[in-house]
A and B are shown apart, each in its own frame.
Chain A
Amino acid sequence: EIVLTQSPGTLSLSPGERATLSCRASQSVSISFLAWYQQKPGQAPRLLIYGASSRATGIPDRFSGSGSGPDFTLSISRLEPEDFAVYYCQQFGSSLTFGGGTKVEIK
């Protein structure tokens, strides 16, 4: 099973700052099979990025994904109040697994 390790566990930032979230896979993962999700309290997850760097429909361009197996990054260029949430990476190159999540909280 491919294990995805996300860091940091919690990121404390102010609105307007840049957020950089990391996702490291225990084995190489093709960029085609890496996605990112956002989840707010009481809501279902929302797809942000697929194929490591392609934004899903309706996702603002302040969200960007990069990297290649095993290291991937989700960046949020300027945090808006609605961006404070938990973010998960997911791989589906071998079965399907999620990372443990990074919480982006208001500093």
Chain B
Amino acid sequence: EVQLVESGGGVVRPGGSLRLSCAASGFTFDDYGVSWVRQVPGKGLEWVSGINWNGGSTGYADSVRGRFTISRDNAKNSLYLQMSSLRAEDTALYHCARMGNPNYYNYYMDVWGKGTTVTVS
């Protein structure tokens, strides 16, 4: 079964740091780009960051650029999001999502994880 499972969410103070992980299974991880997308409960979707298949191309939303860093470890079939200088407005459910093209950090997303919750308070 194709699956993405996020972990690492929790409660953190403003100004603090947190590292999210996403474990991929059921497909060849390095055949795809992957992204992080967040959602405040009851609100819409916001793309946070994306990375291409080998990590050579990354992109960030303006709201997180300079504070968040995306990375991947293809040997471990894992995606990461290092979050620092966290703010209350970063509070959300964070999904990882597989993208339909290996070469870009921004593409449509055909597989989604259920998400991990980050609360900055």
- Cβ-defined contact, A45 with B45, below 8 A: yes
Q: Smallest CB–CB gap between A59 and chain B, Å?
A: 11
- Size band of the interface chain B makes with A: 20 to 34
- Cβ-defined contact, B47 with A44, below 8 A: no
Contact among B44, B59, B108, B113 with A35 in the assembled complex (CB-CB below 8 Å): B108
- Cβ-defined contact, B112 with A44, below 8 A: yes
> Using a CB-CB cutoff of 8 Å, which residues 105-121 of chain B contact chain A?
106-110, 112-115
Residue A90 at the B interface, CB < 8 A? yes
Interface string of B93-111 (1 = CB under 8 A from A): 0010000100010111110
- The complex places the Cα of A56 from the Cα of B62 at a distance, in Å, of 29
How many inter-chain contacts with C-beta < 8 Å in the A-B complex?
Answer: 54
- Cβ-defined contact, B46 with A98, below 8 A: yes
- Cβ-defined contact, B44 with A101, below 8 A: yes
Q: Please, which residues of chain A bring their CB within 8 A of the CB of B47?
A: 95-98
Q: Smallest CB–CB gap between A44 and chain B, Å?
A: 4
Residue A84 at the B interface, CB < 8 A? no
Contact among A57, A92, A100 with B107 in the assembled complex (CB-CB below 8 Å): A92
- Cβ-defined contact, A47 with B46, below 8 A: no
Which of A43, A44, A46 is packed against the most chain B CB atoms within 10 Å? A44
- The complex places the Cα of A57 from the Cα of B100 at a distance, in Å, of 12
Residue B35 at the A interface, CB < 8 A? yes
Q: Which 3 A-B pairs have the closest CB atoms?
A: A44-B112, A35-B108, A96-B106
Binding site for B on A (CB under 8 A): 1, 35, 37, 39, 43-47, 50, 56-57, 88, 90, 92, 95-101
21 A-B pairs with C-beta separation under 8 A: A35-B108, A37-B45, A37-B109, A43-B114, A44-B95, A44-B112, A45-B37, A45-B95, A46-B112, A50-B100, A50-B110, A56-B110, A57-B110, A90-B108, A92-B106, A95-B61, A95-B106, A96-B50, A96-B106, A96-B107, A101-B45
A sample of 11 more A-B contacts (CB under 8 A), given A45-B112, A88-B45, A95-B59, is A35-B109, A43-B114, A44-B95, A44-B115, A47-B110, A50-B110, A57-B110, A88-B44, A96-B107, A98-B44, A98-B45
